[in-house]
């Protein structure tokens, strides 16, 4: 296999770990092996043996533990979770921005979808700061709130800037390598935060790069959006929660008057395609307030694996 195919195989096998050792293990193992053998053109037995070696809990690295951080933001105390490699650094650092469902679960400080990304970043030698924009204001999920009190273009941008200011005061942070990554509502906030109009006037370096997963581009597309920071946008072709066409219009409109931008559309993928082990389903049929009101959401294993590769490459620029 080529280097790219090898990376895809490893990423798919990481997803297999979630499938194989979760509920309905035998059925999920069979499904995972079928996906892997078909996508990578490997014989099923070889795929099974190799993925078991990569995915076994015994082979897994120790899980990173987050630390709660409090950041002063005017009258607000912004709570955040910090994942950091061992040592004194300085480490490249990622500010990770949760979606409309919030950062936390009922009994966990960070939902699995964000924890998995954070743990992978730590393995790659990066620190990760996850601001809790909703919980810090005493709010729950905002996906179905008609009049949200936390807006992507205002309060969440303020949270981004407060998080960045806090990071610039930490000696373990590589000051010229602070990046942004966001999902859905958090990605929409990211698009506002990287606009040239919001450039800081301090002496510290700007954000190194940014990655936006399936943001709502509809407003930005009509406002002549551009970015001062190299920005990667990832979205599924069948995303009917966000709008791939609006994002394409936004990205194309920024050409020639913007920092580097790249948009990748994954064929056949829906909203939340990078979440592990989430069958595709209609969001409006769910009573879960942490899901969108309309459209479809669900995992696309191949798009998830490719997105992991692309994000890794983008953040080492």
62 Cβ neighbours under 8 A, 6+ residues apart? none
Integer Cα distance of 251 and 244 in angstroms? 10
Query: Per residue in 8-29, pLDDT tens?
Result: 554 555 554 444 433 344 444 4
How high is the pLDDT of residue 204? 77
How high is the pLDDT of residue 23? 36
Dig out the tokens for 303 from the structure: 């798009």
The CATH code belonging to domain 64-315 is 3.40.50.1820
Dig out the tokens for 128 from the structure: 């990760």
- Classified as helix, coil or strand, 183 is strand
Integer Cα distance of 21 and 56 in angstroms? 9
Integer Cα distance of 193 and 133 in angstroms? 15
Q: How do the domains of the chain map onto residue ranges?
A: 1-60, 64-315
β-pair type (127-131, 210-213): unpaired
Instruction: Give the residues of the chain that fall short of pLDDT 70.
Output: 1-63, 200-203
Q: What is the pTM of this model?
A: 0.81
Integer Cα distance of 86 and 146 in angstroms? 43
β-pair type (127-131, 173-183): unpaired
Integer Cα distance of 58 and 55 in angstroms? 8
Whether 123 contacts 61, CB under 8 Å: yes
Query: Per residue in 41-64, pLDDT tens?
Result: 555 555 555 554 544 444 444 567
Q: What's the mean pLDDT when you consider all of the chain?
A: 85
Provide the CB-side half-sphere exposure for 264 (13 A, CA).
Answer: 18
35 Cβ neighbours under 8 A, 6+ residues apart? 12, 301, 302
Q: In the block, which residue shows the tokens 């469902």?
A: 101
Question: CB pairs under 8 A, 24+ apart, for 59-64?
Answer: 60/17, 61/123, 63/119, 64/118, 64/119, 64/122
């Amino acid at each position: 296999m080529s280097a790219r195919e090898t990376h895809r195989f490893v990423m798919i096998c990481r997803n297999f770990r979630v499938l194989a050792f979760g509920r309905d293990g035998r059925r999920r193992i069979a499904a995972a092996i079928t996906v892997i053998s078909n996508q990578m053109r490997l014989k099923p037995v070889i795929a099974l043996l190799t993925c078991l070696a990569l995915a076994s809990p015994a082979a897994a690295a120790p899980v990173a533990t987050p630390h709660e951080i409090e950041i002063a933001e005017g009258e607000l105390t912004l709570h955040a979770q910090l994942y950091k490699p061992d040592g004194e650094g300085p480490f490249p650092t990622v500010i990770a921005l949760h979606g409309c469902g919030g950062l936390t679960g009922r009994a966990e400080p960070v939902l699995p979808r964000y924890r998995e990304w954070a743990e992978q970043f730590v393995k790659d030698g990066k620190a990760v700061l996850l601001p809790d924009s909703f919980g810090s204001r005493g709010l729950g999920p905002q996906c179905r709130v008609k009049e949200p009190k936390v807006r992507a273009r205002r309060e969440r941008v303020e949270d981004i800037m407060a998080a960045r200011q806090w990071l610039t005061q930490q000696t373990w942070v590589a000051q010229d390598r602070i990046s942004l990554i966001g999902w859905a509502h958090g990605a929409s906030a990211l698009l506002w935060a990287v606009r040239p109009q919001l450039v800081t006037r301090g002496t510290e370096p700007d954000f190194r790069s940014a990655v936006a997963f399936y943001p709502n581009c509809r407003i930005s597309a009509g406002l002549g959006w551009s970015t001062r920071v190299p920005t990667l946008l990832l979205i599924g072709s069948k995303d009917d929660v966000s709008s791939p066409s609006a994002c394409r219009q936004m990205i194309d409109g920024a050409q020639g008057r913007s920092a580097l931008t790249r948009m990748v559309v994954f064929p056949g993928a829906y909203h939340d395609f990078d979440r592990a082990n989430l069958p595709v389903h209609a969001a409006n049929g769910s009573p879960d307030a942490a899901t969108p009101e309309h459209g479809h959401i669900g995992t696309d294993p191949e798009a998830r694996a490719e997105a992991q590769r692309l994000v890794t490459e983008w953040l080492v620029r």
